[in-house]
Amino acid sequence: MVPDTVDADSEFAFELRTCRWAEREWPPDGDSDADTTHIVARQLGTKRRRWDTIVLECDPGALAQRANFGPKRLESDHLHIVRNAPAEWTYYRDALPHPGYPWRYVREAIHEADDRGILEARKQGNRIEIRRKWPYPDWCERIVAIENKPDLDASAARALGSQLEYDVAVALADEVWVATRQTGERVEPVLLEDLPVEAGVLALDPDTLEADVGWYPRSLAADESGTRILERPDDGTRGSSAARFEYVDPQQKADKRLAIAERAYERGWRSFVDTMRPDCRYFELQAAEGAQLLPRCGATGDCQTAAQCSGSCPDFQPEPPIWRTKGWPLEGGPGKRLKALLADRRRRQRPRTDTGAGQ
Ligand code: SF4
């Protein structure tokens, strides 16, 4: 028989519960600062390291100004322009620092930014001049990375240890945490593992969304150079292979942090639906607690992952066409409405995104 509750035991469901908890409760010490607001996203990072959950701590005024640029992310070429665009009309090559790639790509990006409504551009003779519409604000103050490990068996703990060591060494985030399932034991088992002391530990009950801090993290030197671990010794004995690493300079880190923040701003954590098949007749969103909507597969009764919920799923069946004729708009049935519902919830977490560019 198909169970009628969301399976909060899977790693994916736990991750979504952590996101929801962070959205409601951050920061974990409950000492919320009126001068800070936050945005939660998931599955973002670099090509070498992807974090499960990300919390951006933001300046509320600057975040509201960021909305001028619309809900979509700004890529690095657009950021280069809007961050350096002058208040008065100026020839673009006089206004912008050399980008490190040919100017013709900058011209293309200027036209795109103009079309998108985030920059003003005009032709004076054969010269392109630009003028900013708004200053690009310094909206993201801190980045917090959370690794979700609901069940920490020995091999998960080993993998987690090296992931956190990597995060601490490169210090791309300002803080790293591990979130694990609350066991109710006097000492949470995760605290007995050999994890870097710089990483915080959070014990979360995914059903009640109550969390205890088992260990507070140390702030990492995100604005200084970091060390990227490329290879570890194959064992701990003398004469084994040496570790290999490289330095990451502060500017490279700052660019990467802003790129991550922009992607987090666009995607949030409810975008899981974008990589699933809400057009399948079995796709459901089910409220687990309060108003959180988690995906649920009506065929299996589980909270399915994006990998399972794809066109290759053996149980996939398209929404019957008749569903699109009974009060649903012709361009889409319930699946479209579910996507819109999640997008609307994501928008509510971004002040003023209904009024910015590209609307
Ligand atoms: S595609 Fe598969 S996993 Fe997704 S809702 Fe349909 S049956 Fe379930």
The reported pLDDT for the residue numbered 6 is 44
pLDDT above 70: residue 240: no
Cβ count within 10 A of residue 334: 17
Fold of 11-62+142-270: Trna Endonuclease; Chain: A, domain 1 (3.40.1350)
pLDDT above 70: residue 2: no
Distance of CA 123 to the CA centre of its chain: 38
Give residue 283 CA to ligand 1 midpoint distance, Å: 6
Domain segments of the chain as ranges: 11-62+142-270, 72-132, 271-348
- pLDDT band for 159, please (50, 70, 90 cuts): confident
Which segments of 222-348 does DSSP mark as H helices, in order? 250-267, 334-348
- pLDDT band for 327, please (50, 70, 90 cuts): low
pLDDT mean over 213-219: 93
How high does pLDDT run on average in the chain?
Answer: 86
With the most atoms of ligand 1 within 8 angstroms of its CB, the residue from 6, 272, 303, 308 to mutate is 308
Q: What is the pLDDT of residues 97-122, one digit of tens each?
A: 999 999 999 999 999 999 999 999 99
Phi and psi, residue 90, nearest 5°:
-145, 145
Q: Please state which of the ranges 148-157, 163-172, 267-276 shows the lowest mean pLDDT.
A: 148-157
CA angle, residues 291, 267, 339, in degrees to nearest 5 = 55
Residue 41: closest CA among 63, 56, 25, 29: 56
The reported pLDDT for the residue numbered 330 is 47
Give residue 150 CA to ligand 1 midpoint distance, Å: 24
Give residue 22 CA to ligand 1 midpoint distance, Å: 28
**DSSP conformation class of 219:** P
Q: Which tokens in the block code for residue 247?
A: 């330095």
pLDDT mean over 77-92: 97
pTM over 0.75: yes
Positions of E strands within 46-163: 50-58, 90-91, 119-124, 127-132, 140-148
pLDDT above 70: residue 59: yes
pLDDT above 70: residue 235: no
The reported pLDDT for the residue numbered 76 is 95
pLDDT above 60: residue 358: no
Nearest C-alpha to atom 3 of ligand 1 is from which residue?
A: 309
Percent of the chain with pLDDT over 90: 58
Atom from ligand 1 closest to the CA of residue 311 = 1
The reported pLDDT for the residue numbered 41 is 96
Write the single-letter amino acid at 293: L
The reported pLDDT for the residue numbered 289 is 60
Ligand 1: list residues with CB < 6 Å: 277, 280, 282-283, 297, 299, 304, 308-309, 313, 315-316
Atom from ligand 1 closest to the CA of residue 317 = 6
pLDDT above 70: residue 357: no
pLDDT mean over 315-334: 68
Residue 122: exposure state from Cβ atoms within 10 A (0-12, 13-18, ≥19): exposed
Atom from ligand 1 closest to the CA of residue 313 = 2
The reported pLDDT for the residue numbered 342 is 80
Q: What is the pLDDT of residues 332-353, one digit of tens each?
A: 567 777 777 788 777 777 766 6
Phi-psi region of 358 (alpha: psi -120 to 50; beta: other; left: phi over 0): left
Nearest C-alpha to atom 6 of ligand 1 is from which residue?
A: 316
Give residue 272 CA to ligand 1 midpoint distance, Å: 14
Residue 302 vs residues 2, 8, 10, 207, 288: alpha-carbon distances, Å: 8, 9, 9, 15, 12
pLDDT above 70: residue 135: yes
Write the single-letter amino acid at 48: R
Distance CA 178, CA 190 (A): 9
